[in-house]
Structure 1
Amino acid sequence: MTEEQQDVAFNRRKTDQQPPLIDAFNARNASLIILASLAGIFFIDWAQSVLLPLIVAVFISYALDPLLSPFDKIHIPRPISAAVMVTVLLAIMVSASIPLQREAIAMLDKVPVAISKFQRTAARAPATEAGIIEKAQEAAKQIEDSTSEKKVRTPGVTLVRVVEKPFNVQEFLMGGASAVLVMVSQSLSALLLVYFLLAVGKLYRRKVIRISGPSFERMRKAAQIMDDFHHQVRRFLFVMLLSAIFVGGFTWLAFWFMGVEQAGLWGVLAGVASAIPYLGPILIFIGTGVTAFIQFGTLDMAFLVAGVSLVITSIQGNVLTPWLTSHLSSLNPVAIFVGLLFWGWIWGPVGLIIATPLLMVIKSLCDHVTNLRPLGELLGK
């Protein structure tokens, strides 16, 4: 027997000795994985008040950390430079919100006029033939009236009428106030965490590298993972910044050319909303359409203005952002879409914003850990 035939026979015996895929499948391990996944999802939802500000603060600190390099070169203490950076950031946000607040108040003052105009237009509109839904409702009401007339009152039985509880404005406002209070508290928590993360600098990076020891190879791999995390998050934030500038700039120019009032306000709102996939463009589409109807009083202009905003956000969402993301990350579109669904379901609009950077971090971790490489393969291109 030749050497080649011996190798073929050896490989055949080795293959025959391997258990089939069904036999290798361990139901107990699969059950543990499923239970652990469900427990993890429950914990993420339950600990939202803690995890959400923490993750947002980490991402913001990654974005602001390179801006502190000039302070480090002149040996300014990190707590002082972090305080200066956070103060400057808040000052920019407050100064930019003052003119936008004036435009928002001017736009809200026109809402009652637009409502009365819409009511007068609807009152002057000619009566049209009832549609299928109106006819079905009328038929159902006639059937209900006819059956109620045939009811026989049983002696000794008291008829009970169910009265719906009226709408309570105070309860509605209190519920909305509690939601606003939670949002404000989480924002303040995230802001404080940003300051502390910037103040400590690379302290936790050094601690993670030291914990991953004692071998030099393990410490080097931990440093590579941390550096990869920083690069992935900064790339995503760079894509978000370019997308927001594109949407905000072109929305402002298009609305200014069409004569839409508060064009600058809508440019800023469109740029900020572009960071929320799917939900943000829909809200801008509805808002710009209503605003155009308030200003011009015609449905044609309302659809035209809303359509322009939809075209701009569609170019950003379907052309610009996917092209930039494909060059700066290794995620496939299906993984991104599923991640958006999951994190949007867990954490709402904020979950939609942080879904992509979280997936990029998870993909980077899976690529460096041997046991997690199959999951990284599913997330990759």
Structure 2
Amino acid sequence: MTDHQEGPFNRRRTDNNQPPLIDAFNARNASVIILATLACIFFIDWAQSVLLPLIVAVFISYALDPLLSPFDKINIPRPISAAAIVTLLLAIMVSASIPLQREAIAMLDKVPVAVSKFQRSSASGPPKEANIIEKAQEAAKKIEDSTSEKKVRTPGVTSVRIVEKPFNVQEFLMGGASAALVMVSQSLSALLLVYFLLAVGKLYRRKIIRISGPSFERMRKATHIMDDFHHQVRRFLFVMLLSSVFVGGLTWLAFWFLDVEQAGLWGVLAGVASGIPYLGPILIFFGTGMAAFLQFGTLDMAFIVAGTSLAITSVQGNVLTPWLTSHLSSLNPVAIFVGLLFWGWIWGPVGLIIATPLLMVIKSLCDHVANLRPLGEFLGK
């Protein structure tokens, strides 16, 4: 096809100083990208039992890695120092689980009491007039009752009665036991993987730099990328760990001073929820307010307790975390919120907790890959 026979979507400017007149939209490449994205989402959901412990273990090892620096300075072997840190972490978890379990059971025992209290208060209140929907439902029930009374049994036709299947306690216990077994196995797998990642240290960093060769320039660039990525991600996760400890400990002390029941459990929940931007502090605010209202029976104490939790999370979110992460690349609020929606949909509550670190990893990688820098710019502030 000659130049004067070319179609309007294939014509280009020949001037070297001007961009192409029309960039044809390649629908085939777009379709491949969409199908690859859908396949990736399906794979992430399908491989949850493998990917979730792996990613959680990598993040925990990055967060705990700064704790091994004093051991490295005195030349203690990494397997020994990693075993000490993991053993200490496991001992803290086991020792804290016993009182926390008691407080959780005590909190769950209050739920039926709270429900009955609300039912009594609503029943003792003045009767309210039924709305349009309730009146329509009542009229439909009367019509159904009147037609059922007029039905005549046809001879020779056997009436059918639907019998609901009774609640099977054994099936419920077996289902709960299997879910608990899967959770315990995944937790142990993640804990063992944390130990191995801490024990090998910089082994995989050296391997990635080695395979990036053979030229010295490429190895030097890979070293710079890995050092910056390691610093960014490790610093971010360590700051998250410090922020969770700060929020959990201060919440426990404040609630203990206010004589709030299950103060230790609320401290742990507040510390974990502090890792979920926006949603976590809101849930703790309403949860602590309702618990305080049920315990003290006054709105004043409910607002004081809920306001205390909100003040602590506000200090952590607006002062402590920005100060500790001032030299790190930051994410914009829209990207964080969309990430929370996506990873919470894929992996549930654990996905909400690891959504922000995952976005931080993606942002750090995109900043060092030329073809992915537009995505990094889209995620950043």
1:1-381 alignment, distance < 5 Å? 13-14=15-16, 18-21=20-23, 23=24, 25-104=25-104, 107=107, 125-126=124-125, 128-132=127-131, 134-151=134-151, 156-277=156-277, 280-281=280-281, 283-285=283-285, 287-296=287-296, 298=297, 300=299, 303-304=302-303, 307-308=306-307, 311-312=310-311, 315=314, 319-320=318-319, 323=322, 328-381=328-381
- Provide the C-alpha distance between the structure 1 equivalents of 2:111 and 2:351, rounded to a whole number of angstroms: 31
- Provide the C-alpha distance between the structure 2 equivalents of 1:73 and 1:326, rounded to a whole number of angstroms: 27
- Provide the C-alpha distance between the structure 2 equivalents of 1:82 and 1:27, rounded to a whole number of angstroms: 51
Q: Which amino acid aligns with 1:53?
A: P
- Provide the C-alpha distance between the structure 1 equivalents of 2:14 and 2:312, rounded to a whole number of angstroms: 58
Contact 1:246–1:316 under 8 Å retained in 2: no
User: 1:200 Cα deviation (Å)?
Assistant: 1.1
- Provide the C-alpha distance between the structure 2 equivalents of 1:197 and 1:205, rounded to a whole number of angstroms: 11
For normalisation by structure 1, the TM-score amounts to: 0.83
- Provide the C-alpha distance between the structure 2 equivalents of 1:164 and 1:302, rounded to a whole number of angstroms: 46
Count of residue pairs the alignment pairs up: 367
Q: Tell which deviates more after alignment, 241-250 or 368-377.
A: 241-250
User: 1:202 Cα deviation (Å)?
Assistant: 1.0
Contact 1:291–1:302 under 8 Å retained in 2: no
- Provide the C-alpha distance between the structure 2 equivalents of 1:31 and 1:39, rounded to a whole number of angstroms: 12
- Provide the C-alpha distance between the structure 1 equivalents of 2:67 and 2:254, rounded to a whole number of angstroms: 33
Q: Tell which deviates more after alignment, 203-212 or 113-122.
A: 113-122
- Provide the C-alpha distance between the structure 2 equivalents of 1:72 and 1:243, rounded to a whole number of angstroms: 25
Q: Which amino acid aligns with 1:182?
A: V
Deviations along 1:74-99, whole A, 9 cap, x unmatched?
33222222111211221233334444
Q: Tell which deviates more after alignment, 192-201 or 271-280.
A: 271-280
Deviations along 1:333-381, whole A, 9 cap, x unmatched?
2111111111111111111111111111111211211222222222222
Q: Which amino acid aligns with 2:144?
A: E
User: 1:119 Cα deviation (Å)?
Assistant: 6.2
- Provide the C-alpha distance between the structure 2 equivalents of 1:343 and 1:122, rounded to a whole number of angstroms: 39
Evaluate the alpha carbon distance shift between residue 321 and residue 41 of structure 1 in structure 2; reply closer, same or farther with a 3 A threshold: farther
- Provide the C-alpha distance between the structure 2 equivalents of 1:135 and 1:326, rounded to a whole number of angstroms: 60
SS at match of 1:14: coil
Q: Tell which deviates more after alignment, 357-366 or 183-192.
A: 357-366
Evaluate the alpha carbon distance shift between residue 235 and residue 76 of structure 1 in structure 2; reply closer, same or farther with a 3 A threshold: closer
User: 1:328 Cα deviation (Å)?
Assistant: 3.0
Structure-2 residue corresponding to 1:6: none
Evaluate the alpha carbon distance shift between residue 274 and residue 136 of structure 1 in structure 2; reply closer, same or farther with a 3 A threshold: farther
- Provide the C-alpha distance between the structure 2 equivalents of 1:17 and 1:312, rounded to a whole number of angstroms: 54
Evaluate the alpha carbon distance shift between residue 327 and residue 163 of structure 1 in structure 2; reply closer, same or farther with a 3 A threshold: farther
Evaluate the alpha carbon distance shift between residue 107 and residue 369 of structure 1 in structure 2; reply closer, same or farther with a 3 A threshold: closer
Contact 2:274–2:313 under 8 Å retained in 1: no
Evaluate the alpha carbon distance shift between residue 369 and residue 114 of structure 1 in structure 2; reply closer, same or farther with a 3 A threshold: closer
Cα RMSD after superposing both structures: 3.2
- Provide the C-alpha distance between the structure 2 equivalents of 1:349 and 1:65, rounded to a whole number of angstroms: 25
In terms of fraction of residues, the more helix-rich structure is 1
Unaligned runs of 5+ in 1: 1-10
Unaligned runs of 5+ in 2: 1-12
Deviations along 1:237-279, whole A, 9 cap, x unmatched?
2432343244334433443443322323322322222223455
Contact 1:255–1:305 under 8 Å retained in 2: no
Deviations along 1:26-78, whole A, 9 cap, x unmatched?
11111111111111111111111111111111111112222222322333222
- Provide the C-alpha distance between the structure 1 equivalents of 2:72 and 2:26, rounded to a whole number of angstroms: 54
Contact 1:243–1:320 under 8 Å retained in 2: no
- Provide the C-alpha distance between the structure 1 equivalents of 2:302 and 2:169, rounded to a whole number of angstroms: 33
Evaluate the alpha carbon distance shift between residue 108 and residue 333 of structure 1 in structure 2; reply closer, same or farther with a 3 A threshold: closer
